[in-house]
Amino acid sequence: MPLDDKAVELFIEAKTFELKDNYLAAIDKYNQALKIEKAAGIYFALSKLYSNITQHKKALEFGLEAIKLNPENLVYKEQVSDTYIVLGDYTNALKYLQDIYAKKPDDINIIYNIGRMYEALKMPSEALKYYENITENFQYEETVLLRMVDIYESYKDYANTAATIEKLLVLNPTDINLKYSAAAAYVKIPDYDNAIRIYEEILSTNPNNRDVQTEVIKLYFRQHRNQEAFDKYGKLMNRDSVDFMTKMDVAVAFLQASAEDKEALGVSRNILQNLNNAYPNEWMPEYYLIYIDAKDNPQDADVRFANLLSRTDTSSELYIQVGFYYYEINNFKKAVEIFQTGAAKFSNDFRLQYLTGNSYYRLGDNRSALPYLEKALEINPKDLNTFSNLGLVYDDLKMNSECAKLYEEAFKYYPDNVQLMNNYAYHLSEIGENLMYAKDMSKKTIDAEPENASYLDTFGWILFKLKDYKNAAVYITKAVNLGKNETLLDHLGDIYEAMGEIIKALKAWNDALSINPDNELIKQKVDKYK
């Protein structure tokens, strides 16, 4: 049915304003026309204009009215779908996209948008069906292929990841980053032949790429092509441009590979022995040889490490590496001995100061940890780990003013760090100061990590100190349900006691004692009610 003449006149005026980007005037004229004639085209025009001025809810309202009047119009449906996407309603956006797709199955943009909606709805397997449709039936599209790579990688489907990157390489055959990604995916499958093929392509245009040469050597070894690996390694060794550290990197790479393949350990040892002979003034080959042997003969390793340190006492890195060896096997007493000696020799080395303090902390000797952590922070005043450990040490030593000053300084650099906020909030709850400030901090931590039992405990304990026992019990109970430990159960018992629910309190305390029967403080609480 033709539009009323006056409505046509207003529609033309509105369109004129729209073409001049005078959207408000155009909207006014379209609305006047709409009062005369309820036409789908006018509703659609208004929907687009409201989208232009970011009034998306009104855009949706008018778009839906247009579809009611003309339910087969695909342009109207696409406008409504776009509006739903802007509003974050991906389910309804998908519904209209599917309607369009049923009528226009060859529209690549629609197919791609359906895939994106399935991704937004956390349904990547469904998204893949549509992306694969584009790739297999229409054309290689870079954006689509990149989405597919992300999804395949999230599934750890490295075979399809590699195959899809190969398609991207058809579009961008010289893209070096894509080649690296393809090779890495082939390694993860594992498909070492294809990984080597890709790396060899890289080397054909950049034959001096040391990183790629090293990767090829490692892959030959993983295929048990040991002689070829040694041959390539030998070529790498004999080149004048290869320095000592590059050679060490290859040796260490084989050592790391030994976690997956025991034969790599023998290769690493052989390389290290050659380097030890060729570079008698370098400590690293000997260190790693001792490290390799330490698993089978730790007592001999102690003697050899001590001897190496006595001969190479000018390297702070050696003290760090030897100290780490003991730290990793939880021999914190020996680690402290090594780190502390290094810290005395290299007083301005942040790592040695921090590691000495951290090792003392792990031993529970916070008084001894204190000066080293303070020195570490003096050297590196923005280090997050030092802030965290030193805060715990100050708390344990009841150095409350120092503790407050430390955390306030830390928040200048890490205002949103939930671990720092939790630790400081708990400290304040324990000393009963600034409890509302502590509560606000603690609330941020549970908003960020609502299933973190430690953060829930802190928040509940602050509520307990504020005498909000009912809510304190709620949060501590949730923490207990996530993972029982004696501290949580002790706190829960204290809360129930404050509420006058002694039977529940005794149960919580006895549960805590079942975890640690030697906790004298909890025993005293239970004995009080016998």
- State the alpha helices, DSSP H only, in 206-262: 210-222, 226-238, 244-257
Tokens of 107: 């529209």
Report the pLDDT value the prediction gives residue 347, as an integer from 0 to 100: 94
Burial 143-176 (b: 16+ CB within 10 A, else e): ebbebbbebbbeeebbebbbbbbbbbbeeeeeee
Mean pLDDT to the nearest integer, 382-391: 96
Kindly report the average pLDDT of the chain as a whole number.
90
Of the listed ranges 41-55, 242-256, 493-507, the one predicted with least confidence: 242-256
Report the pLDDT value the prediction gives residue 227, as an integer from 0 to 100: 61
Report the pLDDT value the prediction gives residue 266, as an integer from 0 to 100: 78
Share of the chain above pLDDT 70, in %: 96
* Distance from C-alpha of 66 to C-alpha of 43, rounded to nearest angstrom: 5
CA distances from 175 to 169, 172, 214, 515 (A): 7, 6, 20, 58
Mean pLDDT to the nearest integer, 362-382: 96
* Distance from C-alpha of 348 to C-alpha of 380, rounded to nearest angstrom: 10
Handedness of CA 104, 106, 109, 113 (dihedral sign): positive
Mean pLDDT to the nearest integer, 180-201: 93
pLDDT in tens, 172-183: 999 999 999 999
Mean pLDDT to the nearest integer, 281-299: 93
* Distance from C-alpha of 9 to C-alpha of 15, rounded to nearest angstrom: 10
Extents of the domains making up the chain = 1-75
User: pLDDT tier at 230 (50, 70, 90 boundaries)?
Assistant: low
pLDDT in tens, 472-491: 999 999 999 998 889 999 99
Degrees (nearest 5) of the Cα angle 145, 148, 149? Answer: 90
CA distances from 337 to 333, 340, 344, 377 (A): 6, 5, 11, 21
Report the pLDDT value the prediction gives residue 324, as an integer from 0 to 100: 92
Task: Check pLDDT > 90 for residue 363.
Answer: yes
* Distance from C-alpha of 353 to C-alpha of 371, rounded to nearest angstrom: 9
For 273-276, the CB contacts below 8 A with 24+ separation are 275/244, 275/247, 275/248, 275/251
Q: Is 492 helix (H, G, I), strand (E, B) or coil?
A: helix
State the fold for domain 1-75: 1.25.40
Residue with tokens 């005043």: 381
Mean pLDDT to the nearest integer, 290-297: 91
* Distance from C-alpha of 441 to C-alpha of 41, rounded to nearest angstrom: 54
Task: Check pLDDT > 50 for residue 336.
Answer: yes
CB 279 within 8 A of CB 244: yes
In order, the DSSP letters of 19-62 are HTT-HHHHHHHHHHHHHH---HHHHHHHHHHHHHTT-HHHHHHH
Q: At what angle do helices 158-171 and 142-154 cross, to 10 degrees?
A: 160
CA distances from 44 to 20, 40, 102, 147, 183 (A): 18, 6, 22, 32, 50
* Distance from C-alpha of 73 to C-alpha of 231, rounded to nearest angstrom: 69
CB 202 within 8 A of CB 209: yes
Task: Check pLDDT > 50 for residue 454.
Answer: yes
Task: Check pLDDT > 50 for residue 1.
Answer: no
**In angstroms, what is the C-alpha Rg of the chain?**
34
* Distance from C-alpha of 123 to C-alpha of 367, rounded to nearest angstrom: 54
Degrees (nearest 5) of the Cα angle 524, 525, 530? Answer: 85
Mean pLDDT to the nearest integer, 275-295: 91
Share of the chain above pLDDT 90, in %: 73
